[in-house]
Chains A and B, each alone.
Chain A
C-alpha cells in the first residue's frame, strides 16, 4: 500500500544537494589550505575555497529566508520526549530488527535526535563557520581598519568547525543507510518522497 508522501520540497532538496556539493569542495580545498592534503595546488585551492565560501554564504542566507518564512524553523525545535527511544533504536533496536520509533511526516520530518543535531548544525555550526570564514577572507581589510590584529583565533575556530563538520558528514552519510531499505533515505532526498509505509523510521 505504498502511498508516496512528499516530505522534502523541491527547494529543500535543491539546497541540500547544493550545500552537499559546496561543503565537499570547501572541505577538500580547506584541507589543502590547512596543509593536510595536496589537490589543486595552494593557489587554486585558495581561489576555489573563496568562491565556494561566498556561494555557500549566499545559499545559507536563502536557506534561512526559506526556513523562517515557511515556518519550517519549527521542525528544528528540540523535542526532549523520545530521544531515549531513538538512542535505544540506534544502539540496540536496529540490531534486533525493531521498527524506528519515530514516524516521519511532512510536518514532523526529524526524529528528536535529528532535531537536536540539525539545530546545532544549521543554526550554530554553519553560521559560525561562515562568519569566521568571512572574517578570515576580509582579514586584510579588517586589519587595515584596525578591528583585528591577528587571525590566529579565528583560524583556529574555523578549523575546529571544519573538523566538526567533517565528523558530522561521516555519521550523516552512514545514517543514510538506516532507512527501511538501504536506499530509502537517499531516495527521499532525491525525489522528496518516502512511501508512507516506509516513512516510520529514519
Chain B
C-alpha cells in the first residue's frame, strides 16, 4: 500500500506546488492491471492500440464508441466548475472564492485538476469534446498524472519537477487499461484540494485509499470496503454530492435498495434510515442533529494534518533576497509553518470540529459581493439554518481561518494572480502584492482601486467522511455538559448545558438554606436538652 501511496504522491507531484514532499523520486514499475472493464477488453480495440502523442487524441478515440460521454461530462460540475445560483455565476471558475488560493482564475496550476485539457486562459473552449479528460478518472494504471505547468495535460516528455523525475505518460498503455474510477482517481484531486494532501477538507485525505477500520468504517477493506461511488452514485457522468445549487442530502428520505438516487441524495439516511439506533433517546436526536455530529468526533483522524489557517498577509518576506520556507511540528507531524509564497499556516490532526446549523446549503459569497470590514472575520460560505428551521441540523464543520487581501475602497475580496512567468505579475514568481492583485483582478474582470489590506475570513467545510466506529462516537457529555461542544449554538435549551440563573439561585438558597436551618435547629435542640437534663434530675 505504501508503494501505492508513493505512486500517488508522485502522480500528484504537480498539485503540491511549493510543497516539499519527503517521498523520493522513483521510476514507477507498472503494476499488473486488467484491460477488461465491464464487458469490454479495451486492449483489443484497434482505435486504442496506436501511438498517441497528445492526450485529446485519446479522448477522440474513446468517443468513437462512447459517443455521448463528452456531452454528458460537459453538463457536470467536474467540467463547468460553475453554476448559476440566484442569477449569479458561482463556483471556482466564476466569481466564487475561498480562503486558500482564493480563486482558480489566474492560477493555471489549479486547472491541472480540471477534468479537461488546456484551461489556460479565457480562450479555453468549454464546448470542445476532445478537451474532456477521460483518463484522469478512468486510468487504472496509476501512471497517468497531470502536469501543473500545462493546464491539465499529462507529461508528454520526461521532466524533472522540483527534483523529481516525472516520467512521460504512455498514452497507449493507459488508454488500453481504462476502467471504473478507483479511490486513487477521485482522491488525486479531492484529497489534494487547496494545495496538498488533506489541506482543504479535514475529512478527505489520501489515507482514504486504504483506511483502517478505526479511521473509516465504510471504506476500510477490513469490512465494507466501499468505493467512492458506493455512496456518490453516478448516472450519465453526474456524480451525486453537494454542489453550489443543491444539497447532497435530502433529510429523512430512505433510499435503501433504490438503484438510481438521481444524483442528489447522498446521505447517511439513504442507507441507515433516520432512526437506526433502536434506542429512543438517541434516535430522537436525528431530527436536529446530523449523524456526522456524533459519529465523526474529530477531523483529520488519519495520519495527515489538515490546514487550519492561512494568513496571506505575511507572504512575500525574503531572506537574503530569496523566498524561504519554515517548518514546524504540528501534532507530531512536520509541516510548513511559513512560506514566502503563501504566508503563515497552522495545521492539526484529530481536531475538534465546530458545530453549526446546516441544511446542506452553503451561502457562497462571490468576488462581486461587498464586505463590511468591521464585521471581520468575514464568513465567506456560511451554512444557513437555525433551531427553528425543520430542515436544518447540527453539523460538524472545519472552519478554515483565513487572512486574505481585499480592496479597501470597493470592500471586495481580491483574487491573486499566483502562477505564471515573470512579468505577468504572478505572486509566486515576483512576490509583489501590487502587481499580483492588479493582475488577479484583471483576470477576473474586477475593478481594483489599487488600495488593499488583509482581512480575516472563515471558510466552512462540512465534515462527512472518516466515520468512526460506533464505540468511538461522541459521548453524551460532549454536548450535554457545561463545557459543551455546542456552546456556540444558543438558540435552544440543551439539557446538561443550560439552566436558568434565578432557578439555580433559588435551588441553592432553598437546599443550602434548608440544611443550615435544620442544622441550627438540631444544635439548639442538643444545647437546650443538655441544659434541661440537670433540672429533670
Asked if B287 is at the interface (CB within 8 A of a chain A CB), the reply is yes
Pick from B287, B492, B518: contact of A174, CB under 8 Å = B518
B495 touches A171 (CB 8 A): no
B503 touches A174 (CB 8 A): no
Asked if A94 is at the interface (CB within 8 A of a chain B CB), the reply is yes
Binds A, one of B38-46, B106-114, B428-436, B508-516: B508-516
Rounded to whole Å, the gap between the CB of B415 and the closest CB of chain A is 43
Which chain B residues (259-308) contact chain A, with CB distance < 8 Å?
281, 284, 287
Pick from A46, A140, A155, A174: contact of B521, CB under 8 Å = A174
Rounded to whole Å, the gap between the CB of A47 and the closest CB of chain B is 7
A42 touches B518 (CB 8 A): no
B476 touches A144 (CB 8 A): no
Q: Looking at chain B's contact residues, is the secondary structure mostly helix, strand, loop, or mixed?
A: helix
Given contacts A50-B281, A159-B503, A163-B503, are A34 and B496 in contact (CB under 8 A)?
A: yes
A155 to B494, CA, bound (A): 9
Given contacts A42-B480, A46-B281, are A155 and B495 in contact (CB under 8 A)?
A: yes
Asked if A160 is at the interface (CB within 8 A of a chain B CB), the reply is yes
A50 to B282, CA, bound (A): 13
Given contacts A43-B476, A150-B492, are A160 and B515 in contact (CB under 8 A)?
A: no
Asked if B497 is at the interface (CB within 8 A of a chain A CB), the reply is yes
A140 touches B287 (CB 8 A): yes
Rounded to whole Å, the gap between the CB of B474 and the closest CB of chain A is 11
A171 to B482, CA, bound (A): 30
A155 to B497, CA, bound (A): 12
A35 touches B514 (CB 8 A): no
B493 touches A152 (CB 8 A): yes
Asked if A65 is at the interface (CB within 8 A of a chain B CB), the reply is no
Given contacts A34-B496, A150-B493, A155-B495, are A95 and B524 in contact (CB under 8 A)?
A: yes
A46 touches B284 (CB 8 A): no
A163 touches B510 (CB 8 A): yes
A163 touches B281 (CB 8 A): no
Which chain B residues (69-97) contact chain A, with CB distance < 8 Å?
none
Given contacts A163-B511, A171-B518, are A34 and B503 in contact (CB under 8 A)?
A: no
Asked if A170 is at the interface (CB within 8 A of a chain B CB), the reply is yes
Asked if A131 is at the interface (CB within 8 A of a chain B CB), the reply is no
Which chain A residues (20-50) contact chain B, with CB distance < 8 Å?
33-35, 41-43, 46-47, 50
Given contacts A42-B475, A159-B500, A159-B503, are A167 and B493 in contact (CB under 8 A)?
A: no
In the assembled complex, which residues on chain A have CB atoms less than 8 Å from the CB atom of B498? 152, 155
Contact with A along B403-447 (1 / 0, CB 8 A): 000000000000000000000000000000000000000000000
Asked if B507 is at the interface (CB within 8 A of a chain A CB), the reply is yes
B495 touches A43 (CB 8 A): no
In the assembled complex, which residues on chain A have CB atoms less than 8 Å from the CB atom of B322? none
Pick from B477, B510, B513, B528: contact of A96, CB under 8 Å = B528
Asked if B161 is at the interface (CB within 8 A of a chain A CB), the reply is no
A150 to B491, CA, bound (A): 9
Query: Interface extent on A, as a size class?
Result: 20 to 34
Asked if B3 is at the interface (CB within 8 A of a chain A CB), the reply is no
B503 touches A149 (CB 8 A): no
A159 touches B532 (CB 8 A): no
Q: Looking at chain A's contact residues, is the secondary structure mostly helix, strand, loop, or mixed?
A: helix
In the assembled complex, which residues on chain A have CB atoms less than 8 Å from the CB atom of B476? 41-43, 46
In the assembled complex, which residues on chain A have CB atoms less than 8 Å from the CB atom of B493? 150-152, 155
Rounded to whole Å, the gap between the CB of A52 and the closest CB of chain B is 14
A170 to B519, CA, bound (A): 10
Given contacts A170-B511, A170-B518, are A97 and B532 in contact (CB under 8 A)?
A: yes
A146 to B498, CA, bound (A): 23
Rounded to whole Å, the gap between the CB of A134 and the closest CB of chain B is 14
A121 to B242, CA, bound (A): 56
A95 touches B528 (CB 8 A): yes
Rounded to whole Å, the gap between the CB of B132 and the closest CB of chain A is 47
A174 to B410, CA, bound (A): 74
Asked if A166 is at the interface (CB within 8 A of a chain B CB), the reply is yes
Asked if A156 is at the interface (CB within 8 A of a chain B CB), the reply is yes
Pick from B481, B496, B507, B532: contact of A163, CB under 8 Å = B507
Asked if B388 is at the interface (CB within 8 A of a chain A CB), the reply is yes
Interface centre among A90, A97, A167 (most CB of B within 10 A): A167
Rounded to whole Å, the gap between the CB of A49 and the closest CB of chain B is 10
B510 touches A164 (CB 8 A): yes
Q: Which positions in B face A, CB cutoff 8 Å? A: 281, 284, 287, 387-388, 475-477, 480-482, 492-493, 495-500, 503, 506-507, 510-511, 513-515, 517-518, 521-522, 524-525, 528, 532
Q: Which positions in A face B, CB cutoff 8 Å? A: 33-35, 41-43, 46-47, 50, 90, 94-97, 140, 143-144, 149-152, 155-156, 159-160, 162-164, 166-167, 170-171, 174, 177
Given contact pairs A43-B475, A177-B522, enumerate 13 new A-B contacts (beta carbons under 8 Å): A94-B525, A96-B528, A96-B532, A144-B287, A149-B388, A151-B493, A159-B507, A160-B507, A162-B507, A163-B503, A163-B507, A167-B510, A170-B518
The 8 closest A-B pairs by CB, nearest first: A163-B507, A152-B493, A167-B510, A42-B476, A95-B528, A140-B284, A174-B518, A170-B514
List 23 interface pairs A-B (beta carbons < 8 Å), by A numbering.
Answer: A35-B481, A35-B482, A41-B476, A42-B476, A47-B281, A94-B525, A95-B528, A143-B287, A150-B492, A151-B492, A152-B492, A152-B493, A152-B498, A155-B493, A156-B500, A159-B503, A160-B506, A160-B507, A162-B507, A167-B510, A170-B511, A170-B515, A174-B522
